[in-house]
Amino acid sequence: MSSESTSLMGRPSTSAAAPERNVSGVNSRFGAVLVVLFTTGWVANHFVALMPAISHREHLGTATLDAVFGIYALGLLPGLLIGGRASDAFGRQAVALAGSATAVIGTIAMLLSQHADVLLAGRFIVGAGVGLAMTSGTAWASDLKGPAGAATAGAVMIAGFAIGPFAAGVIAAAGESGIRISFVVAAVMVVAAMVILIVAVQRTQAVLPATTRDSELSTPPQKSSARALSWALPLAPWVFASATLGFVAIPARVHTGLAAPMAAGIATMLVNGSSGIIQVIARAGKWGPRTGIAGAVLAALGYALTALAPGTMGAALSLPLLLILGCASGLSLREGLIDLEAAAPQQVRGALTGIFYALTYIGFGLPLLLATVDPGVSQAILAAMAVLASTAAVSRAARLRRDAHRQN
């Protein structure tokens, strides 16, 4: 038996290169997981920029378009809940690949036809696939790199959310074939990510255990499902409620000279771009658990300002709002994922990540809710959300005074 194999079984290794190869193997897998998460964000969100063009070409009414947008969440929620638990039981790789393949199937369906019934089915299928890939991929990143892995996973996925719609807007504005080209690009990217992941795992199979979960023989007393969720879940509602308020609801109140796909793509890129950038700043500045307080405070500020804003906004007001809401989304996502990594037992990390993401995605219903009520009711909803986000910030600050929770 080789010295490398011996070391994997827990015996002393005589190979000086083994630790270096292990580090290289972890980095290789981690990079491949990030590629999968980036393309997951892309395939999930590029449709936002295509909605105006598809609506115009297919003569879709507002109710139909809202249904096509919202049905994604109906597929996503079971994907999130099932994917996390399944990845704990059957391994991260199998579920990540299954989710990616499912998202490709839904994307190809919409490539072949943009009729309303096909769009509804395709978006539902994409949602289910994204849910599987998000939870398994994020949990895998946490397994490989700890808190840094969890935070990086969120930031990379947000980058996919941001760049996908912007690129789709550029492609769709180029001509009639732009819609189908955008679907082709998304599908090809996901398939390429799957290939990269498979190759990375095969290359590192000899120097890494099949799963990092097996190395955890016991759960430290400070780690429990209840503790992890009690820290993470209060931040979950502000992740995508903030993001979708920014890139769906606010652009509808801003009049620009841009083509609709381009305007939607730019708004999405600004919201999700600021979400990713603020996460990098928080990490570099070592903000620690207080980052969650900042996320909730910014969410409260964004909702309050949106409630007070006039029905039609100019760029001077809408641009700062997009940035505030994007930062609120990013900081809340970052802290929720790190809270889970810090307090969740590893053997249920996937399931808890799925629960966290499921609650974050309830926020996707906010734009539809605001669009179906009177302006006065809409203002009241946003004001109530501002109060709730402020309460979450105050509660977290008070809890951190008596419970340090984690150091970074």
- Over residues 295-302, the mean pLDDT reads 97
- C-alpha triplet 145, 81, 201: angle, nearest 5°: 40
- Over residues 157-176, the mean pLDDT reads 84
pLDDT at 212: 44
Write out the residue range of the structural domain in which residue 349 sits: 24-205+222-402
Rounded Cα distance between 242 and 239, Å, is 6
- Over residues 305-319, the mean pLDDT reads 88
Other beta carbons less than 10 A from residue 279's beta carbon: 27
The amino acid sitting at 319 is: L
Residue 14 in any domain: the answer is no
Tokens matching residue 342: 């810090």
Residue 217 in any domain: the answer is no
Instruction: Answer whether 0.75 is exceeded by the pTM.
Output: yes
Residue 18 in any domain: the answer is no
Residue 257 in any domain: the answer is yes
Would you say residue 197 has pLDDT above 90?
Answer: yes
Cβ-proximal residues to 284 (8 Å cutoff; 6+ apart), any chain: none
**DSSP symbol at 213:** G
- Over residues 66-71, the mean pLDDT reads 80
Rounded Cα distance between 75 and 253, Å, is 29
pLDDT at 20: 57
- Over residues 344-372, the mean pLDDT reads 88
What is the CATH number for 324? Answer: 1.20.1250.20
pLDDT at 220: 53
Other beta carbons less than 10 A from residue 140's beta carbon: 31
Rounded Cα distance between 85 and 88, Å, is 5
Residue 214 in any domain: the answer is no
pLDDT at 261: 66
Residue 10 in any domain: the answer is no
Residue 357 in any domain: the answer is yes
Would you say residue 240 has pLDDT above 50?
Answer: yes
Residue 127 in any domain: the answer is yes
Rounded Cα distance between 169 and 161, Å, is 13
Longest CA pairwise span in the chain (Å): 74
pLDDT at 267: 85
- Over residues 9-21, the mean pLDDT reads 44
Count of the separate structural domains present in the chain = 1
- C-alpha triplet 301, 306, 308: angle, nearest 5°: 95
Other beta carbons less than 10 A from residue 103's beta carbon: 30
- C-alpha triplet 353, 72, 48: angle, nearest 5°: 110
